[in-house]
């Protein structure tokens, strides 16, 4: 059976990681890199990669899917063209700037019978038994999320990262999104968001965000995402009535149905391959993607929309997705 061609659009940090994941898997082939910045395009050529213009890639029947590794605000025209050309999607996080934008991508891909997936690779680190009865297992749970990744505020004052239209936000969107997504996988649909405190590097670009989220399951989550502390720390703790779980630096511990559950941390590069493995299997006629589905991102997009676009100290209901 031939290899499935994937084109990676954007050859920055994310794009390079996608190229590595595609290259590591049997049955997938990097069909093209699309890059508008001449210096980044040159780096791809020097790495021996096939750099091609987007229209040529869209017209190529050997390209089955586009991995869209652009800043959020640069993606909409590329995603629309990809769907119009019948290409399946792998979208980087945060996959949309608003619930309405996400709904548009999901609907257009579904109407065209295309798979839409997302690079929320940390979902694959959660043990299956933990995901199995979520969110019912954690109804009315008390949960806490802390993400600390030290960065100089200047990082969020340059290029697209300083532009809310392109970046959506700062540390919450670009460093917090993975664990916020994990919280939604376990706790379900967020219904109310209350930002409690916020520091910005530039207008609309947060370097620290503290907030509170209520889920339809009754679970309550306290959120701290910061780049202002020195320690690197990532931890989600969920305390249910009987069960509990903690994901810390990618490793899971907990107790479910009276039994201990543990899962070691796995390298992010391996988790990214899991995302592509689901898509590759589906494109070969196997089961449709599951964990990597873009439709599983409605929670995190609504949650961040609420925390970022609500005045501090006030509570807002989630916008429908």
Q: How far is the CB of 37 from ligand NAD (least distance, A)?
A: 3
Q: Which one among 29, 52, 74, 228 touches ligand NAD, defined by CB under 6 A?
A: 74
Q: Which is nearer to ligand NAD, 74 or 103 (CB)?
A: 74
* Residue labelled with tokens 């995190």: 300
Q: Which one among 66, 83, 85, 119 touches ligand NAD, defined by CB under 6 A?
A: 119
Residue 3 DSSP code: P
Closest CA to 14 of 28, 31, 33, 27: 33
Question: Which tokens in the block code for residue 119?
Answer: 């690079």
296 touching ligand NAD, by CB under 6 A: no
Q: Which stretch binds ligand NAD (CB under 6 A): 30-38, 191-199, 227-235, 304-312?
A: 30-38
Closest CA to 224 of 197, 191, 192: 197
9 touching ligand NAD, by CB under 6 A: yes
197 touching ligand NAD, by CB under 6 A: no
Would you say 102 and 110 are in contact if contact means Cβ atoms under 8 Å apart? no
Site string for ligand NAD, 233-272 (x = CB under 6 A): ----------------------------------------
Residue numbers 160-189 binding ligand NAD by CB under 6 A: 174
211 touching ligand NAD, by CB under 6 A: no
Residue 261 DSSP code: E
Could you report how far apart the first and last alpha carbons of the chain are, in Å?
38
Question: Which tokens in the block code for residue 54?
Answer: 């987007």
Question: Can you tell me the distance from the alpha carbon of 85 to that of 269, in angstroms, rounded to the nearest whole number?
Answer: 29
Q: Which is nearer to ligand NAD, 7 or 256 (CB)?
A: 7
Would you say 245 and 252 are in contact if contact means Cβ atoms under 8 Å apart? yes
The residue ranges that bind ligand NAD (CB under 6 A) are 9-15, 17, 34-37, 40, 69-72, 74, 78, 92-93, 119, 174
């Amino acid at each position: 059976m031939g290899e499935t061609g994937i084109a990676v659009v954007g050859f920055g940090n994310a794009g390079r990681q996608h190229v590595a994941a595609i290259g590591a898997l049997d049955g997938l082939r990097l069909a093209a890199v699309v890059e508008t910045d001449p210096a980044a395009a040159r780096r791809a050529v020097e790495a021996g990669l096939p750099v091609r213009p987007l229209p040529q890639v869209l017209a190529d029947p050997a390209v089955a899917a586009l991995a869209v590794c652009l800043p959020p605000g640069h993606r909409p025209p590329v995603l629309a063209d990809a769907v119009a050309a019948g290409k399946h999607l792998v979208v980087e996080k945060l996959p949309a700037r608003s619930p309405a934008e996400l709904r548009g991508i999901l609907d257009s891909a579904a109407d065209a019978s295309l798979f839409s997936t997302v690079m929320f690779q940390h979902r694959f680190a959660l043990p299956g038994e933990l995901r199995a009865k979520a969110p019912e297992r954690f109804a009315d749970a008390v949960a806490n999320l802390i993400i600390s990744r030290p960065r100089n505020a200047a990082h969020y004052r340059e290029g697209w990262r300083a532009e809310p239209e392109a970046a959506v936000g700062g540390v919450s969107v670009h460093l917090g999104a993975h664990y916020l997504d994990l919280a939604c996988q376990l706790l379900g649909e967020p219904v109310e968001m209350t930002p409690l405190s916020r520091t910005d590097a530039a207008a609309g670009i947060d370097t620290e965000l503290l907030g509170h989220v209520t889920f339809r399951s009754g679970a309550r989550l306290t959120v701290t995402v910061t780049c202002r502390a020195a320690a690197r720390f990532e931890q989600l703790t969920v305390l249910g009535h009987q069960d509990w779980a903690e994901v810390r630096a990618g490793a899971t511990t907990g107790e479910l149905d009276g039994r201990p559950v543990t899962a070691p941390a796995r390298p992010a590069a391996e988790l990214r391959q899991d995302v592509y493995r689901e898509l590759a299997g589906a494109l070969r006629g196997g089961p449709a993607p599951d964990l990597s589905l873009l439709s599983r991102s409605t929670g995190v997009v609504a949650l961040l929309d609420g925390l970022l676009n609500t005045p501090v100290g006030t509570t807002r209901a989630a916008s429908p997705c």
